[in-house]
Structure 1
Amino acid sequence: MLQEGAHGKWTVSSSDESTEENSESEKPSTSSLLHAAPARKSELQYPCSEARKAAHKRKASPLKLGDKVFSTERPPAEKQRTTQEGLGWCLSSSDEEPEDQGKTTHKETLKEEKCDAPKEHPLNLCKDGDLSVNQKDEEYDESEAQDTWDLLNGGNPFRFFLTKVRGIERKYNTGALHIKDILSPLFGTLVSSAQFNYCIDVGWLVRQYPQEFRKKPLLIVHGEKRESKAELLAQARPYENISFCQAKLDIAFGTHHTKMMLLLYEEGLRVVIHTSNLIAEDWHQKTQGIWLSPLYPRLLQGTAGSAGESETNFKSDLVSYLMAYNSPTLKEWIDLIQEHDLSETRVYLLGSTPGRYQGSDKEKWGHLRLRKLLKDNASSIAAQESWPVVGQFSSIGSMGADGSKWLCSEFQDSLVAAGSSGANLLKCDVPIHLVYPTVNNVRQSLEGYPAGGSLPYSIQTAQKQLWLHSYFHKWSAEISGRSHAIPHIKTYMRPSPDFQKIAWFLVTSANLSKAAWGALEKNGTQLMIRSYELGVLFLPSAFGLDKGYFHVRGKMLSESKDSATCFPVPYDLPPQQYESKDQPWIWNIPYTNAPDTHGNMWVPS
């Protein structure tokens, strides 16, 4: 069946057309696993999405332009759909590993053979003998180390960082962090840590800790079930110091998508909220975001737990978020947070937790939480009603038959809550700019087409919402030198019409989906959320700015502006709308007309 819109044309079989709003390709059943073929060299060693597996396969077995390819008309995600009930799969359209998110449940036993571009020229083809991603990552810290202590205490009042990217000019990595920087002894003498995440390579994670910290207690908070859970636990078997907390996911298609580190030191406590999975690829050549807290000192013994609160209520909100897991395993970390002084925090915590919420509980999570924070804390700005909203993300869920179903109704109402003054503007009066990479963005990236494995927008979802693509804008980040580092970061903000100011900025794990942000039910009396998500909201008032906005640090900004009032938006403003030839990246269809930066095609099957 031919599907055509302003920004794309695809041919799909009728078997791919699903009426299920959150339909996904299934994880294999237990019986199929019993008869599965042994793991091959090209397979991943940790649970991941179908899109990530396809990207890994293409890296291991690249297809050159002109190679004979069979069966390229049908996307690979045509597996027979069966009922989800009782299978225990944690699936969701909410995250970067998602519309067809079945994670692999095979136990891989062979060496990782990932092949990326050589360090000296990231766009070169990968040749026999080149270092693997993990091997390169091991020497990354030595070759590009910097004084992270000076970085942390320098001119970054927002404590918002990007991850380091291999293959770009060194100046663009100034002020950026790698996971090894975050876990460095320069930040403190580690006592124990907790890692909250979605996709986790345990062996790789352990190697990111300095040698002297690798046997310290490590808690991994995850959402895996059944075979995937068994696989994760098997990865950790060699490490006696690792324990696990399984997040409860009682609503279908939900995921544990939060990405957070809790780091306890002899000197205090630190919280890190970021956008990267705990796998080598996410810290290698992608644009990711990090918020790094100050070092929180321990309160005097006997001080009440309510002490050490910030003006943003970060401490109590973080405790409430952890309590939502309803897990005895997290009680120790809740107590530790209570024992520390978090008063220096200047950001607001914004989380999602699975459930159906009514009454005042509706405002605790998801987009209604954002709506309340903006109404209660954002400053009023003249004529702000006409300011646009910008969303930037790496995956997209089902939005419905048109914008009125969610995007331009309840979700937009939350994004424009601040400064509305009760005005009921027509929806078209508030422009919505959605930043999502084009096929050419991916093709011309440092990783080439395999970068699209972390952008799992599927044909099954895209074909049902061609209306959405008229809102799309290209990924462009020349100002940060990262136009060729595909974004896995997710950000939302409200800029002025000239894009020189922003009223607020949010960095979060939440992609553009109802599963992540929540959707109203029962005539608006109930909010239903499927997934765990976490982010931090930056408001000018929390940084002592009484004008109600940050200046944007970028091309249009005079260098005379005070850096303390200039927010480092990580991509170019204003966003560039898709042209007629542009198509959004869709992971599970082939691209064989033009080679990527490694001279390869994309055939995901």
Structure 2
Amino acid sequence: MLQEGAHGKWTVSSSDESTEENSDSEKPSTSSVLDAAHDSSGPQYPCSEARKAAHKRKASPLKFSDKSCSAEAPPAGKQRTSQEGSGWCLSSSDEEPEDQEKHAHKEQVKEEKTDAPKHPLKLCKDDELSEDQKAEDYYEAPSETQDTWDLLNGGNPFRFFLTKVRGIHQSYNSGALHVKDILSPLFGTLVSSAQFNYCIDVAWLVRQYPPEFRKKPLLIVHGEKRESKAELLAQARPYENISFCQAKLDIAFGTHHTKMMLLLYEEGLRVVIHTSNLIAEDWHQKTQGIWLSPLYPRLPQGTSGSAGESRTNFKSDLISYLMAYNSPTLKEWIDLIQEHDLSETRVYLLGSTPGRYQGSDKEKWGHLRLRKLLKEHALSVPAQESWPVVGQFSSIGSMGADGSKWLCSEFQESLVAAGRSVMSLRCDVPVYLVYPTVNNVRQSLEGYPAGGSLPYSIQTAQKQLWLHSYFHKWSAEVSGRSHAMPHIKTYMRSSPDFQKIAWFLVTSANLSKAAWGALEKNGTQLMIRSYELGVLFLPSAFGLDKGYFHVKGKMLSESDNPATYFPVPFDLPPEQYGSKDQPWIWNIPYTDAPDTHGNMWVPS
């Protein structure tokens, strides 16, 4: 049957209408893992169908032609119908069961060399490098070592960074970090490390460490099971220094989505909470966020366990988060954190762990944890009841039949909490959701394959057309990253003129109930499927008594205090989708216009 909404048309078979609600879980199916393991041209680690499609299109690009489905397109039996105008089309031959679709967000793979033309947006002289070399090897050391040291110890009061992006003007990479920066000897003499993540290329990860640190003990915390776990362990077989901790995922369709580094140095301890998978692609041409802790010194011997706490309770919250894994393997790291002074931390930790929580435990994790933090620590601002909330993300779960089911009820109530006074939920609080359009992806540095890490599926989208009226384009001229598609996830509360923000959160959590939790049993129980982790920035923790940060624009005068201006990484106010804009949907074709490499997108 033909369906039509505000953002296009598509055809689906009747079998799609009766399938159960998509939960947006990111795990690949077992068959996907096995296919990847046995396909030498595919990724050597598990990934989603969306990421596999992106890899395939990079390896075998379909050049744009006026005849949309030319001889280069797939055989007739697998061919998708071309788009009607700006609409969405899906042929029944390409349907996948919803339970497989629930596994469709595992992260992207190394770029393959293509015969694509030179990138029209490129500002760096790197055309002689193949795509995989650019993603694999991109790293530019600071021009002056001391500059980076100064940056980490005073030039960035929030310790919030973006990742370096190849292909943009280098002025926009000033103050940005690559994974090799984070792991460099400049930041400390490494003793051991723990890497918590979702998608991991072990060989690539080892190469990001300086040669002198590559044999130091490395613990990898992951959520893989069965065949995908075996594949991960096989990757690490050549490295005797690597050990593993498997996160327990007892609720269906949950993932270990947390992205954190624990770095133990001779000089102390550092915590890094970020949004990138441990694969080359995620550190190449994507917009990612990083919070880098201060270097935490070791406490004097004999100090009590409660010492070294910050005013944000970061130390005890981090220990509680690690204890939630219920793993003896993490006991060593819990003890190490106890032995260090984390008192200089100015951010609040906000995590999700899988489970069903009642009573006071409901407020330990997920969106109810955010609600509690805002009520207890955010300062009320006059007329703040009408301040909009802004969410920005790279994946979308099923929100239900309308906004009242979750987004504009329990989730919005958590986002608008402020101060100790209980405010009634205002249905007129504007909600701005920032998610890339098809044209955002098409015009990106990577072109259409960038959409492999934006796994919003047609099966989910077609059931929540109401959600698309909240969508706003990805635009990031302020950070020079409009053409570097976002894998970062951020949430904030802004003044109506977007000149002030009451709080800012950078997190691994996408817009989904699996990540944030959903109330059950008449609101008496919160159910969370996945592990997530982020940090919350509140003005009060940075000595600002007005209850808000100013928004940092493109230019600051020398007289401006950088501690009062938060570097929001995309443009405010957000620009709403136009009548011809569509949200990026990964599993339908785009053949009406070429991307920046002259290619079309036919995912199958």
Residue 121 of structure 1 and its aligned partner are, at CA, apart by: 6.8
Match of 1:88 in 2: none
Match of 1:194 in 2: 194
Residue 176 of structure 1 and its aligned partner are, at CA, apart by: 0.2
Residue 567 of structure 1 and its aligned partner are, at CA, apart by: 0.2
Equivalent pair of 1:388/1:497 in contact (CA under 8 Å): yes
Match of 1:600 in 2: 599
Residues 516 and 148 from structure 1, CA distance in 2 versus in 1: closer, same or farther, beyond 3 angstroms? same
- Is 1:304 aligned with 2:304? yes
- TM-score for the superposition, normalised by structure 1: 0.91
Partner secondary structure for residue 140 of structure 2: helix
Which residue identity is paired with 1:359? Answer: G
Residue 7 of structure 1 and its aligned partner are, at CA, apart by: 2.0
Match of 1:486 in 2: 485
- Is 1:377 aligned with 2:377? yes
- TM-score for the superposition, normalised by structure 2: 0.91
Residues 37 and 282 from structure 1, CA distance in 2 versus in 1: closer, same or farther, beyond 3 angstroms? closer
Match of 1:13 in 2: 13
Unaligned 5+ segments in structure 2 are 82-89
Match of 2:95 in 1: 78
Residue 153 of structure 1 and its aligned partner are, at CA, apart by: 1.7
Equivalent pair of 1:103/1:228 in contact (CA under 8 Å): no
Equivalent pair of 1:59/1:116 in contact (CA under 8 Å): no
Match of 1:63 in 2: 62
Residues 47 and 502 from structure 1, CA distance in 2 versus in 1: closer, same or farther, beyond 3 angstroms? same
Alignment of 1:441-520 (within 5 A): 441-520=440-519
Residues 252 and 369 from structure 1, CA distance in 2 versus in 1: closer, same or farther, beyond 3 angstroms? same
Which residue identity is paired with 2:305? Answer: G
Match of 1:546 in 2: 545
Alignment of 1:524-603 (within 5 A): 524-555=523-554, 560-603=559-602
Once residues 424 and 23 of structure 2 are traced to their aligned partners in structure 1, the CA distance between those partners, rounded to angstroms, is: 35
Q: What fraction of aligned residue pairs are identical, expressed as a percent? A: 83
Match of 1:436 in 2: 435
- Is 1:149 aligned with 2:149? yes
Match of 2:44 in 1: 45
Alignment of 1:3-402 (within 5 A): 3-22=3-22, 27=28, 29=30, 39-66=38-65, 67-68=70-71, 69-70=73-74, 71-73=79-81, 74=90, 78-80=95-97, 100-101=104-105, 113-114=112-113, 123=122, 130-134=129-133, 137-138=136-137, 140-141=139-140, 147-402=147-402
Residue 131 of structure 1 and its aligned partner are, at CA, apart by: 2.7
Residues 42 and 400 from structure 1, CA distance in 2 versus in 1: closer, same or farther, beyond 3 angstroms? same
Residue 20 of structure 1 and its aligned partner are, at CA, apart by: 1.4
Residues 532 and 597 from structure 1, CA distance in 2 versus in 1: closer, same or farther, beyond 3 angstroms? same
Which residue identity is paired with 1:216? Answer: K
Residue 422 of structure 1 and its aligned partner are, at CA, apart by: 3.0
Partner secondary structure for residue 502 of structure 1: strand
Residue 304 of structure 1 and its aligned partner are, at CA, apart by: 1.1
Once residues 11 and 230 of structure 2 are traced to their aligned partners in structure 1, the CA distance between those partners, rounded to angstroms, is: 38
Equivalent pair of 2:37/2:43 in contact (CA under 8 Å): no
Residues 212 and 513 from structure 1, CA distance in 2 versus in 1: closer, same or farther, beyond 3 angstroms? same
Q: Compute the RMSD of aligned alpha carbons.
A: 2.7
Residues 58 and 356 from structure 1, CA distance in 2 versus in 1: closer, same or farther, beyond 3 angstroms? same
Which residue identity is paired with 2:95? Answer: E
Residue 144 of structure 1 and its aligned partner are, at CA, apart by: 7.1
Which residue identity is paired with 2:292? Answer: L
Partner secondary structure for residue 9 of structure 1: strand
Equivalent pair of 2:24/2:396 in contact (CA under 8 Å): no
Equivalent pair of 1:134/1:204 in contact (CA under 8 Å): no
Once residues 438 and 154 of structure 1 are traced to their aligned partners in structure 2, the CA distance between those partners, rounded to angstroms, is: 37
Post-superposition Cα deviations, 1:497-553, rounded to whole Å, max 9, x if no partner, equal 110000000000000000000000000000000000000000000000000000000
Post-superposition Cα deviations, 1:381-421, rounded to whole Å, max 9, x if no partner, equal 11100100000000000000000000000000000011584
Match of 2:426 in 1: 426
Residue 149 of structure 1 and its aligned partner are, at CA, apart by: 1.5
Once residues 145 and 79 of structure 1 are traced to their aligned partners in structure 2, the CA distance between those partners, rounded to angstroms, is: 52
Residue 77 of structure 1 and its aligned partner are, at CA, apart by: 6.2
Equivalent pair of 1:123/1:597 in contact (CA under 8 Å): no
Residues 532 and 118 from structure 1, CA distance in 2 versus in 1: closer, same or farther, beyond 3 angstroms? farther
Equivalent pair of 2:135/2:283 in contact (CA under 8 Å): no
Which residue identity is paired with 1:249? Answer: L
Once residues 28 and 164 of structure 2 are traced to their aligned partners in structure 1, the CA distance between those partners, rounded to angstroms, is: 33
Equivalent pair of 2:23/2:513 in contact (CA under 8 Å): no
Residues 294 and 119 from structure 1, CA distance in 2 versus in 1: closer, same or farther, beyond 3 angstroms? farther
Which residue identity is paired with 2:441? Answer: V
Which residue identity is paired with 2:235? Answer: Q
Residues 505 and 187 from structure 1, CA distance in 2 versus in 1: closer, same or farther, beyond 3 angstroms? same
Which residue identity is paired with 1:162? Answer: L
Unaligned 5+ segments in structure 1 are 85-90, 93-97
Residues 538 and 143 from structure 1, CA distance in 2 versus in 1: closer, same or farther, beyond 3 angstroms? closer
Residue 65 of structure 1 and its aligned partner are, at CA, apart by: 0.9
Match of 1:95 in 2: none
Equivalent pair of 2:444/2:483 in contact (CA under 8 Å): yes
Residue 119 of structure 1 and its aligned partner are, at CA, apart by: 9.5
Residues 224 and 572 from structure 1, CA distance in 2 versus in 1: closer, same or farther, beyond 3 angstroms? same
Residue 40 of structure 1 and its aligned partner are, at CA, apart by: 3.7
Residue 140 of structure 1 and its aligned partner are, at CA, apart by: 2.3
Residues 127 and 325 from structure 1, CA distance in 2 versus in 1: closer, same or farther, beyond 3 angstroms? same
Equivalent pair of 1:221/1:245 in contact (CA under 8 Å): yes
